[in-house]
Structure formats: C-alpha cells, structure tokens
Structure 1
Amino acid sequence: MRLWLGLPVASALPRAHLCVFIPISERSRKDGALSLAALGTWAQEQLQRDAGAKVRFVSVGSTAGSPLEPYTLHVPGDEEVGYKRLPVRILKIWHYLGQEDDCDWVMKADSDTYVNLRGVSDRLSCFDPEEEHFFGVVHAIVPPRQLREMWPALYFGHGGSGYVVSRGLLPKVGRSALPCLEDMLEMTQGDAMEDVIFALCLQRRLDVQVESYGFLRPGGAWDAQLAEQEFVVNFHQARDELLDRRPKAPLQRWLHWDAQPPPLHACVMVAHPVENETDMMEVHRKLRADAAAQVLALAPTASEWAEPERMPLGLGRAQCVPSPMALARQAEVRLSAAGAPVKAFWTPKQLEQLSQCLVHSLGKKRCGWTDIREQRYGLSYWPPAQSSDACAEACCRSGADCSLFQYRADEGCWLGRWEESQAVASDKVWQGAVKVW
C-alpha cells in the first residue's frame, strides 16, 4: 500500500487528474460551515468522480465522526496558525505533497472558494501535466518605490481563487518548500501573504513564473464580452447582482475588472470569496442550471438532462475552451506592473495547446468562402495557424465571432469580423476570404 494525500490506496489505482486541497482551521466556524457546504455542492463525491478529481480538507484537528472525516488530510508537522502566518502551513503542505505521485495537477484553494471541478479539470487537460506548470488567476503586487530595486513587482497566483501546480513541477516544489519557509521566517517571522510567498519561492528558487489558465478580463467596460470571463474573483462585491438579490440601487459597474462580473455561466471555473453556505448553494444552482440549459440547446432531445440536479456540472472542454477568435483577442491583453516585465496573458505555446484541445474535442469544420486579396486592418493575430488552410479552419471554428481571415507566410494568420475591419493600401498580396456560410 502507498499513500495518496495521506490516505491508503492500492498501488494499482489510477492517478487522479486533479487534486484540490483546502487548508481549514478548527478555530474557524466559517471554515467548518463552508467545508460542509462544499461537500454538499461543488465537492460532492459524484462530481469529484465525474471530474477525475479528489478534494481534501487539510486540518490539524480531528474531524472524526463528521462528514469531513473521509475527506480530511493531516500533514506531519502542520500547526494551527492565524491568517497572517498562513504561509507557514501552506509551505509545509506543499513540502508534503511534493513527495506524492498520485495527481496530474494539484490545486490549493480556500474554504470560501467555489471550484467548478469539471471546468477546471477539463481546462487543465489541454496542457501536459508532465511539463512544469504553475497556473493561477494572475495578480501583481508592487512594493513601495524605495524597495523596488531590491524587490521588483511580482506576478502571483491569487490564493483565494486557487493556484495549480503540475505533476512535472511538484517534486521541485516539494524540495523547495522548506528552504523557502526558512527564508520567509527569517524575513517576516511568518507574517506574510501565502500566495505571494509561494510565487516568490517558485520564482527565486526554480525560475518558474505563474501563468494564466483561464481568462480574467483585466479591465474595461466591454459588457457584451463579459461571458468570456472564466473567474469571478470579487464575488462579495457582485453577489447581489449575480444572485439577483439586488438592493434598491443596482451594482455600479466601475471601470475596474473586479467590478465587472460575468454572469454565472457553466464555464466559470472559480468564484471567490463565497462567504456563506446559502450563497455557495445558490452559485452551485445557477451554474448547474446554465449547464443544463446549454446541453439542451445543443441537443434538445437529451431530455434526461432536463433537470439541473441531474446534470453533471461542466460542459466539457469542447464547449468551454474559447474559440480561436476569442483566444486571439484575449492574447492581445498585456499585464503590466511597475518594475516588472510586461506579461502576455497567453503565451504562444498555450495558444497552441488550447487550439489543439478544441480541435480534438470538436474536430474540423467546413465553411464557404469568398476570396479577397486586399489587406484589412482591425484583425487579431492567431499564431497557431501556419498555413492559409489552417487559418481558414480557425476562423470557421470560431463561428459567428469570425467572418474574415487573412494569411501570409511572413505575417501569419489574422482573424476578425468583416464589418469591423478596414481596407488599407498595401503592395502585399494576402491569402484571405470572407465567410459566406
């Protein structure tokens, strides 16, 4: 027998695709209540199985006799600490998990995090777990100006929204965790932000930077495109709007990302913070209802899924991976923090992997075209397409989002909408076409 997250399992059992761990404190009534709410909603046993996932609550105290007992992990050397010293616990947990070999992906979340297990699992299946990946909802912390020469701005994976480590990186994380803990205790006596400390540890010891694995619109008032957003990271601010419990004055949409919540659609992967059990259940209900509605829209005869409570949460990667056109637009986003390099939202390799994921799920599509040769402005670059045919196919797979493609071997593939583009005088001849069906 060997151990998986501290529990005995037969060595013949398959590796879990996604393992989620949630540190909880026996001093916190909120942690206890929300952990039970998670088991009744997003972390239900059946949903864990559907997603190839395992969820464990990391506790110092005993949960014997409670519904949490089968899902509790006890880590050697773990100790109760206040919130300000949470990095002490987190680094010890990562050290322990780094010695395991039973998870393709390991995700840390909080008790007030709602995780769409199927959505996260499907998205991570687009990437290779044997490679070294550190994924998260990317934020930046900027030190005071006088400290930036020694401590430049740092991109990190937001802890409450959960961050993810691949199997290929996990052993290195495990070996680095205790040295990072020693460094952190020397610098701060343990009083620090755990997500920042974790990112700093991976950057300084392993030269690993956090990357996005889902889209978080970083700003702007593009309400028509909010459904592209796959994380809700300021739920407490937007809950009345999202749960239709509106006060007399509706939510004011400021020009900041955290005040621009998307609807609670089935492809939202994470919502945080969901701070009480009632809201956790309501978020769950809305995501399941939307999943059922979308499946019925795709296959109206699938009456067995007509009841939301019977619908497996998560539509599968075919429905939730953004189209090439959406990804091309998202890839134009750049994250910037004083003292740190500008960071592209998606790397070219990620775009390639997401593109392959969509092709494998949906297969190739065919569209009708009318050729054009003039160059058009207002299009978005799509690097995975290395030929005119591949560029046309990417536009076709994008549905109504894309009605025009252009390609040159030296300029690559460009996608867009005819009505939003403009002709430009150019001596260059492009291969391109406008979609007619």
Structure 2
Amino acid sequence: MANSSAPEFLAGLGLQKMATTPLLCAGLGVQAVSTIYSTYDHSQFREKQIQLSNQRDEAHRKMMDKIQSDHIAHLDQMSEAEEKSRECFQAYRDKREKEIAKIKSEFDEQQAKYDKEIDDSIKEHKKNVESIREQSENALRQNQVIHRRQLESMDDNQRKEREALHEKLENAKKEIAKVLDDEYREIDIRMNEYLEKQEKKREERNTAMEKNRKEIAGAQGENRRVVQQLEEDKRKHFEEQKGLVLNTQIEISGDLIARNASMRCMKMYQDALQPVALRMKNAFNEMRTICDSANFDKRSIRAGSLDPFKDEIASAECAFYNNVAIFTQGMLSEIHIPLDIRIELNNQLNQIKKLLQNTNVKSHAALLALAHDKKDLEKMRNEMDLMKTFFTAFEDLNTDQQTLMIQKKIMDSLCAKTSQLKING
C-alpha cells in the first residue's frame, strides 16, 4: 500500500476528490500530492473506518473462537491420551503387582523350605551331640573304674615294697652302727699313737730350734760385720767415683771453654773478613768477565787489581788481631784455665792465624793480574776456588762444636746419675 498512489488509496476508502494536505499524506504514509479535492466527506470516512474496525473485530473474534476450539480439542485429545496412559500404567502396575506377589510367594515357599531344612539339621546335630556326650560319659566312667582298680593294686604293691625297704633299712642301720663302733675304736687307738709320736717330734724340734737359734745369732753378728765392711768399701768407692766425675767435669768444662773461645775467635774473624771476601769475590767475577770478553787489557787488570782492597784487608786483619787479643786477655784474667786447656786454646788461635795466611787475598789478586790470555783462565778459576777453604774450615769447626754439645749432654746425664747414686747411697 505504501507503494500505491494517493488517489488509488483514497478511492479504495471511498474518498474520491479528497483535498489531501502534506501533513495528512505523511500521516497516511503516502507521498504528498499537489492535487486538491474539492469535497471531503467526514461521515463517509467515519462509517468506512467503523466498518473496517467491525470487520477486523469480527475476524479477530472468529480467529479467537477457532483458536479456543482448537485448544479445547487439543485439551480433549490430551485428556484422552492421559486417560489411556493412566489405564496403561494401571495395567502395568497390576501386572507388576501380580509378578511381585508371585515372586514373594515363591520366596516364602523357598524360605520355609530352608527353615525346615535348618531345623532338621539342628535337630540332627543335637541328636549327634547328645549321643557323643553319652558315649564320652560312658568311656570316662569306664576309664575311672579301670584307673581306680589300677591305683588300688598299685597301693598294695607299694605298701609291700615300703615294708620290705623299711626292714632292709633297719638291718642296714644296725650293721652301720656296728661298723662305726669298730672304726671309732680303731681311730682312738691310732690317735693316741699319733699324739705320742707328735710329742716326741715336738721335743726333738724344740731342741733343734734352740741349737739353730744359737747358730743364727752367731751368723747375724758376722753378717753385721760384713755389712759394715761392705758399706765402708761402697763409701770409699763412691768417693773415688765422685772424684773421677768431678775431674771429668772440670776437664770437659775446660775443653768446652777452650772450644767456645776458639769459636768466638772464628766468629770474630768471620765478621771481620767475610764482607771483604764477598766484595772481592764480586770483583774477581768482574775480572773473569773482563778476561772472557773479546777486548782483553792486561795492564788495566794489573793496575786495578789490588788497589780497592789493600787498605780494607789491612784494617780487617788489624781489627781481628786486636779483638782476639782483647778476648784472650779477658779470659785469662777472669777464668782460671788449666795448662793443657791454655795450650789447646793457643793451638786453636795459631790454627786460625795460619788459616788467615793461607787465604791471603793478595796472592789471589796477584795471580789474577798475571792472567795475560784466555789459556790461563782455568788456572785463575782454580786459584779463586781457594777462597772456599776458609768457609770450609768454618763448617768443620761448627761440626766439632755440635759434637762437643752432644758430649756435654752425655756428661750432664752421667753427673745426674752420679748425684742420684749419692742420694740413694
């Protein structure tokens, strides 16, 4: 209808030549037209509208009646179906109840059958138990009768045996009493004889003991005299050993003093000349390097070999001799040293002086200055090795000092043992 033109729509409503305005056309849902109708019958439009409304209401009523009738018919169909379903369910329930009743009756019959069988088995069991109990009672009574008869027969036999044993026991007691009387009589006789013999032996023993007592008294006096003599000899021997130990201690102490003095002299010599010797050793190494080099200058070695060490060597030797003299005078003034130890000390000092002369560095420097070519390098190295003699002598003296310390420990142990003997003696 929205696509149809306005005159057709109005003709359908019976409103021809209707003056249509744009607002009316917009309200009716049609496009505005420019045609203006001269007549506009409101009553005719109203009647047509009422007629259409009545037609619509009638159609709606018919449709509602039809829907209601259809609904009622559907309800009737549902009622019929429900009734049929109820009848079917009732029939199924009746059938199920019949089946349940049948099963229950069968179960009751089976249960009654089982109950009857159980009652029969219980009765049978009671009968069996009763018969077994009667049999057991009969067997027990028979066993009791047999046991009672056996006990009675055993009592008679035991009574007879006890009477026989009692009679034997009485006879044995009589025999034992007779034997014991004879034994006691024999024991008394032997005891008297033994006592007489013991009395005689006791008298003889007393006589022998008196004789031994006199002999022991004489022997004790002799032993006392011998012990006193042994104690006197032991005391004299201890005094002799004590003197020997003291003399040995004095000798060892003097020897240790001399050794310590020698070691101190060697230490002073080492302190005085070892720095010079080390510096000379470095100088000799430099000279050997120069000799080994390609550019050899004999005159430079001759001119400069002795100059750096002359004054230093002379001052070191002078300081050493002065220190040794002061040390020796101090020892001689403060400590009383025996003659043999004094001689040993002087020998040690002379040995040190000889060692100093043998290790005179002037000779080594002169030999180095005479090295004029590479062929004399081996001789130069041998002469330089003589410097090791001085240090080897020091090592030997240190070894001697360690040996003396070990000997000193041994003498200390000997002195301790001697003191212990003195305490015990």
- Whether the TM-score (by the shorter chain) exceeds 0.5 is no
Larger radius of gyration: 2
Structure showing the higher helix proportion among its residues: 2
Choose between structure 1 and 2 for higher RCO, CA contacts under 8 A separated by at least 6 residues: 1
